[in-house]
């Protein structure tokens, strides 16, 4: 018997994130976080830790992709910019999968307590969506390793205390074998970070490593599977986030169409606009169906099963996000073009999500090849 | 393409090319080519250069300073200036208010306003939309009350493009609330230095400042600055909208975007991807269809016929293609659209770019271009007009 219902714990988790966004994270709060040092609020992050959210996806009780999705959907709805995705979904998970020994466990404990921030440095200036396109090299030096190369688009990489870095210990760019993961001190020797805001009001960094010392996580040369799983998990997480973004945009659009009057009536009375809002509704609901049914497959031990589910969800959610985002702006009209109105910001985040962890073309190709 | 150019046309093309090479600021051209924004000086400088040659407002009637060109010449002019990445014409003065002035204005108004527009000495803005009057423009409420030989204007205009550059603004104001809403509207020309005008910048979602809210608080406007008759402004406004049709297509711009797209796709290694190649080809064919419509229009005008229904959808297709091109650029640049680098869009930026050199304007362009199906009569309104006036529904 198919059971897609949330269990009691998951219902509580959903309630807690919905309540947080509803009561504490309105658009003004979002803007304050964006304007804060490092582009997010440390006190909000601490609150996440107190709510127990920073262990979601990592600890046994809320360790699954569906748990992560519940949280991400709520955070998406509130346009929450605090670095849950890079720090928890990606970097901490990478340490947990790769196996970081005692030091790894200790770091994860500090991360879930909200005392330590991580980011995951996998992309490079020429890697596009290929996770194996890694030219950053790690070589042995005494007992340890040193890294050389450049990573780009490291989300919140400017404020991360430690970085989980994909580097090559053998082979050349695009080889599947020879990838390894390293833990590198964000403030350590040989690490220079060029930080910048991103087009969705978040922050990222390009990071240069010059003989930067790193600690190997797991076995050398065998990190491909870890990186692949982490990037898939991140893709699944932003699918869930996009549900939250879309639901907020649909609500804003329907509400606005009921209050904005032109030609002597609310514009929501015009049939041509009604049909388009119905299309937006259908796009969201179809995406919700897909993620409800397939999110669990992200935890599958079989990589093909996981990849198939992730690619299907990403294509569905990106297509829906494109439609909902563009139509929300169009149906609002000029007001949604402005920086002071919320909808444009949701649209921008959806547009960025489309270009993260593989776009529609990339996932269609992967899906077709599986 | 079945288009024949005479030797004289080819000579004109040569002369134009030489003129562009000699006179058009290379910095401006480079910025247009890279899809970066232009400052007031870029526009004004090129307009003034063209004016020295008598080419600043080629569409105008000859007696007011326009060019006695065949449609083929106009086509060559647009093609060459587009291809060479010259700053695009700013429509508000030359293409919007000027035809109203020479058609409905007094001799004095023509003498006062047309020469500075032709010369590029005065910048105009368009004061149409209001916070509560967008698609339903005729419901506008900015009021003008006649007091002796002046109108006293009060109200708020919004989405006013480049009002912060403007020396003058043409306004639709309400002078009567009797009868149909279209019947109480008057067309005024207003000096932007008049006391009581305040400009509030509106920052658009990508972070740019093009549009403004313009507030009028007891602004005194000489009655002599009224176009035509009081309460007949809607007629003049509609006339103006009809005049815009030649300039909404953006074919040269779309071709330029196509060129940039190929460059980005090549650098990202997706120009060999069959799916993406097909979409680029599809976009190129859409541009060809739009250009074919423009040529059909030019040809019928040249044959002395009134433009037919093919003119009605130019704004719809032109803006859809504009959005398509910015979206394809997003896809091509992929994850490298992420960094937000507003300073990289400004003049004089010479730091190391974040990621590929073409990346910085791609996302802001995509975001900003969502406006084109909203402004100038949203595409939904355009379809209403076609349904009513072309299909007779």
CB A203 within 8 A of CB A195: yes
Q: Do A218 and A275 lie in a common domain? A: no
Q: B389: which 2 tokens?
A: 């006036």
Q: Are residues B17 and B53 in the same domain?
A: yes
- How confident is the model at residue B101, as a pLDDT? 96
Same domain, yes or no, for A257 and A357?
Answer: yes
Kindly state whether residues B256 and B211 are assigned to the same domain. no
Domain with B147 in it: what CATH number? 2.40.110.10
Let me know if A275 is exposed, middle or buried by CB neighbors in 10 A (0-12, 13-18, 19+). exposed
* Position B103 pLDDT exceeds 90: yes
Torsional class of B209: left (φ above 0), alpha (ψ -120 to 50), beta (otherwise): beta
Crossing angle of helices A271-294 and A303-332, rounded to 10°: 160
Q: Is B242 among the domain residues?
A: no
User: Pairing state of beta strands A162-168 and A118-121?
Assistant: parallel
Asked if residue A51 belongs to a domain, the reply is yes
Q: Which two tokens stand for residue B57?
A: 């407002």
Q: CA B372 to CA A222: how far, in whole Å?
A: 50
d(CA A161, CA A73): 26
Query: So what's the pLDDT on residue A2?
Result: 76
Instruction: Give the pLDDT of residue B94.
Output: 93
Mean pLDDT confidence for A38-43: 97
Looking at the structure, tell me whether residues A205 and A254 fall in a common domain.
Answer: no
pLDDT, position B299: 79
Give yes or no for B301 touching A (CB within 8 A).
Answer: no
Residue B207 is assigned to a structural domain of this protein: yes
Three-class DSSP category at B222: strand
With an 8 Å Cβ cutoff, is B273 touching chain A? yes
Q: Which helix (H) or strand (E) holds B260?
A: helix B251-267
- Our CA angle for A49, A30, A16, nearest 5°, is 40
pLDDT surpassing 80 at residue B347: no
Q: Please write the tens of the pLDDT for every residue from A138-158.
A: 999 999 999 999 999 999 999
Residue labelled with tokens 């920086």 = A339
**Cβ atoms of residues B211 and B202 within 8 Å:** yes
**Token digits of residue A172:** 């050349």
Q: A276 CA to chain B: closest CA distance, Å? A: 12
More confident residue, A342 or B341: A342
What's the pLDDT band for B4 if we cut at 50, 70, 90?
confident
As a whole number of angstroms, the distance between CA B97 and CA B125 comes to: 9
**Of the residues B79, B183, B206, B244, which is catalytic?**
B244
- Residue window 73-112, chain A: list those with CB within 8 Å of chain B: none
Of the residues A65, A82, A99, which one is the last residue of a structural domain? Answer: A82
B26 found inside a domain = yes
Q: Who among B202, B363, B378 is closest to A199 (CB)? A: B363
The confidence band for B1, taking pLDDT boundaries of 50, 70 and 90, is low
B75, part of any domain = yes
Among A35, A63, A82, which residue terminates a domain? A82
Q: What is the pLDDT of residue A352?
A: 98
With CA atoms as reference, the chain A residue closest to B139 would be: A263
Place of tokens 């995951």: A120
Place B353 in a pLDDT band, splitting at 50, 70 and 90: confident
- Provide the mean pLDDT of chain A: 97
pLDDT at B377: 87
User: Which of B200, B233, B266 is where one domain is finished?
Assistant: B233
- Give yes or no: residues B68 and B133 share one domain: no
Calculate the alpha carbon distances from A342 to A245, A269, A336, A337, B210 in Å.
11, 23, 7, 10, 19
Residue B219's SS3 state is strand
Confidence of residue B20 (pLDDT cuts 50, 70, 90): very high
Which residue, among B10, B122, B12, B5, has the nearest Cα to B67 in the 3D structure?
Answer: B12
Per cent of chain B over pLDDT 90 is: 78
Domain shared by A131 and A60, yes or no:
no
Q: Is residue A283 part of a domain?
A: yes
CA A67, CA A295: separation in Å to the nearest integer?
Answer: 10
What's the pLDDT score for residue A267? 96
Please give, rounded to a whole number of angstroms, the shortest distance from the CA of B370 to a CA of chain A.
7
Three-state SS annotation for B265-297: HHHCCCCCCHHHHHHHHHHHHHHHHHHHHHHHH
Whether residues A365 and A229 share a domain: the answer is yes
Confidence (pLDDT) at B297: 82
What is the SS3 assignment for B140? Answer: coil
Question: Is A273's CB within 8 Å of B380's CB?
Answer: yes
**C-beta separation of A196 from A204 below 8 A:** yes
Structure tokens at A333: 């009209």
Mean pLDDT for A87-95 is 98
In a domain? residue A104: no
Average pLDDT score over chain B: 92
Cα(A291)–Cα(A279) distance, integer angstroms: 18
pLDDT band (50, 70, 90) for residue B301: confident
For A223, which DSSP code? -
Q: List CB contacts (< 8 A) between A273 and chain B.
A: 380
pLDDT tens string A300-335: 999 999 999 999 999 999 999 999 999 999 999 999
Same domain flag for A217 and A259? no
- The single residue listed with the structure tokens 């009655």 is B223
> Which residues, in sequence order, are bridge partners of residue B211?
B161, B202
For position B245, what pLDDT does the model report? 54
**Closest C-alpha among B229, B249, B378 to residue B322:** B249
Query: Is pLDDT at A164 greater than 60 in this prediction?
Result: yes
Cα–Cα distance, B189 to A202 (Å, whole number): 44
Enumerate helices (H) and strands (E) in chain A, giving the number of each: 12, 9
> What pLDDT sits at residue B341?
87
Q: What angle do CA B186, B189, B190 make, to 5 degrees?
A: 120
Identify whether the C-beta of residue B286 lies closer than 8 Å to the C-beta of residue B321: yes
Express each pLDDT in A220-243 by its tens digit: 999 999 999 999 999 999 999 999
A169 and A243 assigned to the same domain: no
Domain assignment present for residue A90? The answer is: no
Q: For chain B, how are helix, strand and coil distributed in percent, rounded to 5?
A: 55, 15, 30
Are B264 and B343 found together in one domain? yes
Are residues B258 and B366 located together in one domain of the fold? yes
Which of A171, A194, A222 is the C-terminal boundary of a domain? A222
Check residues A130 and B344 and name the one with the higher pLDDT.
Answer: A130
For chain A, the distance separating the N- and C-terminal CA atoms, rounded to the nearest angstrom, is 27
- Same-domain pairing of A71 and A204: no
Q: Where are the beta strands (DSSP E) in chain A?
A: 118-121, 137-141, 144-155, 162-168, 179-185, 191-197, 203-217, 261-262, 265-266
Q: Which residues in A156-292 belong to E strands, given as ranges?
A: 162-168, 179-185, 191-197, 203-217, 261-262, 265-266
Query: Which residue of B135, B335, B341 is in closest CB contact with A356?
Result: B335
Dihedral of the CA atoms B58, B60, B66, B70 (nearest 10)? 60
Rounded CA separation A71/A54 (Å): 10
- B361 burial (CB, 10 Å; 0-12 / 13-18 / 19+) is buried
| DSSP codes of every residue in A78-120 | TT--SSHIIIIIIIIHHHHHH--HHHHHHHHHHHHTTS--EEE
Instruction: Tell whether A73 and A153 lie within a shared domain.
Output: no
| Residue of chain B whose Cα is closest to the Cα of A205 | B339
Polymer length of chain A: 370
Q: Can you give the residue range of the structural domain that contains A211? A: 118-222
Asked whether the beta carbons of A148 and A210 are under 8 A apart, the reply is yes
**Among A61, A83, A28, A7, residue whose Cα is nearest residue A237:** A83
Tokens of A359: 């776009």
Q: Check residue A115 and give its pLDDT.
A: 97
Same domain, B385 and B252: yes
Q: Read off the DSSP letter of residue B97.
A: I
Q: Report whether pLDDT(B157) > 60.
A: yes
Q: Which single residue is written with the structure tokens 């080419």?
A: B55
Residue B380 corresponds to which tokens in the numbers above?
């939904």
Q: How far is B204 from chain A (nearest CA, A)?
A: 4
Q: What is the pLDDT of residue A194?
A: 95
Q: Does residue A1 belong to any structural domain of this protein?
A: no
Closest partner residue to A263 (CB to CB) among B136, B206, B374 is B136
Structure confidence at residue A361 (pLDDT): 96
Same domain, yes or no, for A306 and A358? yes
Q: For strands B168-174 and B124-127, give the pairing.
A: parallel
What pLDDT is stored for residue B376 in this prediction? 86
Residue of A261, A333, A338 lying closest to B202 (CB–CB): A338
Give yes or no: residues B291 and B341 share one domain. Answer: yes
Asked whether residue A164 falls in the same domain as residue A77, the answer is: no
Give the pair of three-digit tokens for residue B64: 């007011």
Give me the domain span that covers residue B134.
Answer: 123-233
Together in a domain, B218 and B284? no
What is the total count of domains within chain A? 3
Q: Is residue B213 part of a domain?
A: yes
**Pairing mode, if any, of strands A144-155 and B143-147?**
unpaired
Q: Are residues B288 and B348 in the same domain?
A: yes
Task: Answer whether A285's CB lies under 8 Å from A278's CB.
Answer: no
**pLDDT (tens digit per residue) in B270-290:** 999 999 999 999 999 999 999
Q: Does residue A264 register a pLDDT over 90?
A: yes
Do the domain assignments include residue A316?
Answer: yes
The half-sphere exposure of A223 on its side-chain side, counting CA atoms within 13 A, is 35
Distance separating alpha carbons of residues B16 and B10, to the nearest angstrom = 10
Q: What angle is formed at CA B296 by the lines to CA B292 and CA B299, rounded to 5 degrees?
A: 135
Same structural domain for residues A75 and A141? Answer: no
- B160: enclosing H helix or E strand: strand B150-161
A204 touches chain B (CB under 8 A): yes
Residue at B108 is within a domain:
no
pLDDT of residue A184: 98
Cβ A251 vs Cβ A281: under 8 Å: no
Mean pLDDT, to the nearest integer, of B168-178?
Answer: 96
pTM, full prediction: 0.96
More confident call, B385 vs A13: A13
Q: Which residue of B lies nearest to A360 if distances are taken between CA atoms?
A: B331
Chain A residues closer than 8 Å to B371 by CB = 334, 337
**Residues of chain A contacting B377 with CB distance shorter than 8 Å:** none
* Same domain (yes/no): B24, B54: yes
**Of B195, B280, B188, B283, nearest in space to B237 by CA:** B188
Structure tokens at B140: 């506008």
Q: Where residue A1 falls among pLDDT bands split at 50, 70, 90?
A: low
d(CA B103, CA B320): 32
Give the DSSP letter of residue B221. Answer: E
Taking residues B129-146, report their average pLDDT: 95
Percent over 70 (pLDDT), chain B: 96
Which helix (H) or strand (E) element contains residue A354? helix A342-354
B263 and B309 part of one domain: yes
- At residue B156, the pLDDT reads 98
Residue B118 CA, chain-centre distance (Å), reads: 16
Distance of alpha carbon B216 from alpha carbon A281, whole angstroms: 41
pLDDT of residue B243: 65
Confidence of residue B247 (pLDDT cuts 50, 70, 90): low
Query: Do B77 and B166 belong to one domain?
Result: no
End-to-end CA distance of chain B: 35
Residue B243 lies in a domain: no
Would the pLDDT of B308 be above 70? no
B244 classed as catalytic: yes
């Amino acid at each position: 018997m198919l059971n897609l219902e949330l269990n009691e714990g998951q219902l509580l988790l959903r309630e807690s994130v919905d309540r947080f966004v509803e009561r504490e994270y309105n658009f003004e709060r979002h803007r304050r976080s964006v304007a804060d040092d490092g582009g997010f609020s440390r006190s909000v992050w601490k609150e996440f830790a107190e709510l127990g959210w920073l262990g979601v996806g990592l600890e046994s009780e809320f360790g699954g992709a569906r748990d992560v999705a519940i949280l991400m959907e709520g955070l998406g709805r509130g346009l929450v910019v605090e670095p849950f995705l890079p720090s928890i979904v990606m970097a901490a998970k990478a340490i947990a999968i790769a196996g970081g020994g005692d030091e790894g466990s200790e770091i994860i404990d500090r991360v879930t307590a909200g005392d330590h921030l991580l980011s995951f440095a996998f992309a490079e200036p020429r890697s596009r969506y290929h996770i194996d396109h890694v030219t950053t090299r790690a070589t042995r030096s005494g007992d340890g390793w040193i890294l050389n190369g450049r990573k780009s688009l490291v989300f919140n990489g400017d404020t991360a205390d430690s970085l989980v870095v994909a580097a090559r210990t053998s082979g050349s760019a695009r080889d599947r074998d020879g990838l390894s993961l390293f833990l590198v001190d964000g403030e350590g020797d040989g690490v220079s970070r060029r930080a910048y805001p991103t087009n969705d009001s978040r922050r990222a960094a390009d990071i240069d490593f010059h003989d930067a010392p790193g600690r190997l996580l797991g076995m050398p040369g065998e990190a491909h599977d870890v990186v692949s799983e982490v990037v898939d998990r991140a893709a699944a997480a932003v699918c869930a986030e996009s549900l939250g973004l879309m639901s907020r945009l649909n609500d804003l659009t329907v509400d606005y169409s009921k209050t904005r009057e032109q030609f002597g009536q609310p514009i929501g009375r015009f049939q041509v606009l009604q049909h388009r809002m119905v299309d937006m509704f259908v796009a969201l609901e179809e995406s919700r169906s897909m993620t409800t049914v397939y999110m669990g497959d992200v935890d599958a031990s079989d990589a093909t099963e996981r990849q198939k589910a992730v690619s299907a969800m990403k294509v569905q959610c990106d297509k829906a996000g494109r439609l909902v985002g563009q139509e929300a702006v169009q149906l609002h009209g000029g007001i949604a073009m402005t920086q002071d109105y919320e909808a444009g910001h949701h649209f921008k985040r959806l547009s960025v999500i489309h270009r993260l962890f593989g776009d529609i073309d990339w996932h269609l190709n992967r899906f077709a090849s599986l | 393409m079945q288009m024949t150019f005479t030797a004289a046309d080819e000579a004109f093309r040569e002369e134009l090319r030489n003129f562009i090479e000699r006179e058009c600021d290379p910095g401006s051209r480079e910025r247009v080519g890279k899809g970066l924004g232009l400052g007031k000086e870029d526009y004004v400088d090129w307009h003034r250069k063209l004016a020295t040659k008598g080419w600043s407002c080629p569409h105008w009637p000859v007696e007011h300073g326009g060019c006695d060109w065949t449609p083929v010449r106009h086509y060559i002019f647009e093609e060459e200036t587009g291809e060479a990445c010259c700053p695009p014409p700013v429509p508000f003065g030359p293409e919007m208010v000027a035809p109203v002035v020479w058609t409905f204005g007094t001799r004095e108004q023509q003498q006062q306003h047309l020469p500075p527009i032709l010369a590029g000495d005065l910048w105009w803005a368009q004061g149409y939309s209001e916070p509560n009057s967008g698609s339903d423009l005729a419901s506008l409420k900015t009021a003008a009350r006649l007091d002796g030989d002046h109108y006293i204007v009060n109200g708020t205009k919004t989405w006013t493009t480049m009002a912060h550059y403007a020396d003058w603004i043409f306004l639709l104001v309400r002078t009567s609330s009797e009868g149909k809403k279209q019947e109480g509207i008057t067309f005024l020309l207003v000096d932007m230095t008049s006391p009581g005008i305040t400009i509030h910048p509106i920052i658009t979602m990508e972070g740019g400042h093009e549009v403004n809210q313009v507030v009028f608080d007891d602004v005194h406007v000489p009655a002599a600055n009224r176009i035509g008759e009081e309460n007949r402004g809607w007629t003049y406004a509609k006339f103006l909208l009809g005049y815009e049709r030649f300039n909404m297509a953006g074919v040269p711009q779309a071709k330029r975007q196509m060129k940039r797209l190929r460059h980005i796709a090549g650098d990202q290694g997706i120009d060999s991807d069959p799916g993406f190649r097909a979409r680029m080809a599809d976009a190129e064919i859409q541009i060809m269809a739009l250009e074919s419509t423009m040529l059909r229009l030019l040809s019928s005008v040249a044959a002395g016929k009134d433009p037919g229904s093919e003119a009605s959808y130019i704004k719809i297709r032109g803006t859809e293609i504009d959005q398509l091109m910015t979206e394809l650029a997003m896809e091509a640049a992929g994850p490298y659209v992420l960094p937000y680098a507003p300073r990289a869009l400004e003049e004089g930026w010479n730091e190391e770019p974040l990621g590929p050199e073409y990346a910085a304007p791609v996302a802001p362009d995509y975001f900003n271009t969502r406006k084109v199906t909203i402004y100038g009569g949203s595409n939904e309104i355009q379809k209403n007009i076609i349904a009513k006036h072309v299909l007779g529904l």
